[in-house]
Structure formats: C-alpha cells, structure tokens
Amino acid sequence: MNSATSQLAAFAAGLRFDDIPVSVVRKAEDLLVEFEQHFRDAPIRALCNRVELVFDGEVDAAYPRRWIGKVTVHSTDGGVLHGRVDEPKGDPGNTLSREETTAKAMRLAAFSGAATAARMQASVTALWQVTDWPRVGTLLEQKS
C-alpha cells in the first residue's frame, strides 16, 4: 500500500476500534480525532504494514444486500483468531442505541468542527423530541 488513505482503509476494514490495543492507538474519549492525530506514529504504521486485505467470495456475493465483515488475526505466538460480523453496528438488524447514536453524533461534530459541543448537544437533545414537533425546522444554523 502506498497512500495513507489506502493504509487507513486496510487498517480500519479488519478492526473494530474497541479492539485495537491502547498501546497502539492511545484510545481517548474522542477516538476519531485521536486516531487521526497519531495515524503516522511508528507503532501504528508498523501495524498497518502487517494488515492485508484479501478477497472473500462470500462477502463479495452478499454485497450490497449485506455488509459482512470478517477478520483473521495471526498472533505472534502462532495462534489464529477469527472474527465475523454479519450485521454491522448501525445496520437495521443491529441498530445503535440512543446513547450510541448521541455519542456518534457528538464525535462526528467534534471531528468535523461542524458545531461546538454545546450547540451539538442542544441539537441532539432537541432532535430526540422530533416526534413531538408540529414542524421540523433547521437543526443547526450555518456557520459564519
């Protein structure tokens, strides 16, 4: 892999962020920002260089109806671990909880800089009441 983008894609494709060792990624409350800040660090680059994406006929045949995820990890002690996700988190069969949805919205807003934490929290709090609104209006006004 030559570009940082393809390395990030390969790295992320086979791993859940919760499963990445703290010593490699320095997991923080805002993992998106933290990961981007440290993506080029030597331990992470070393791990990226050991990630290999391989074609899987079952995954390919199921797409786009299903987004199956598979990972095989070969440990340094010779062990082999297999993982599989048939319904990725966030898909209709494995929906996010209200807390997870709120946390994701807050992380994405912080990562993109689209809104302050206070503005985003107010918007999310209001949005959870959307079924009570007589009319849906603007959720976030344009940044100036």
CA-closest candidate to residue 2, choices 54, 49, 65, 71: 49
1 lies in the same domain as 49: yes
7 lies in the same domain as 39: yes
CA-closest candidate to residue 73, choices 16, 138, 112: 16
143 part of a folded domain = no
How many whole angstroms separate alpha carbon 50 and alpha carbon 72? Answer: 12
140 part of a folded domain = no
Dig out the tokens for 45 from the structure: 């680059």
Residue 111 pLDDT = 80
How many whole angstroms separate alpha carbon 108 and alpha carbon 139? Answer: 15
Domain count within the chain: 3
Model pTM above 0.75: no
Q: What is the mean pLDDT of residues 77-102?
A: 89
Residue 65 pLDDT = 87
**pLDDT grade for 31, boundaries at 50, 70 and 90:** low
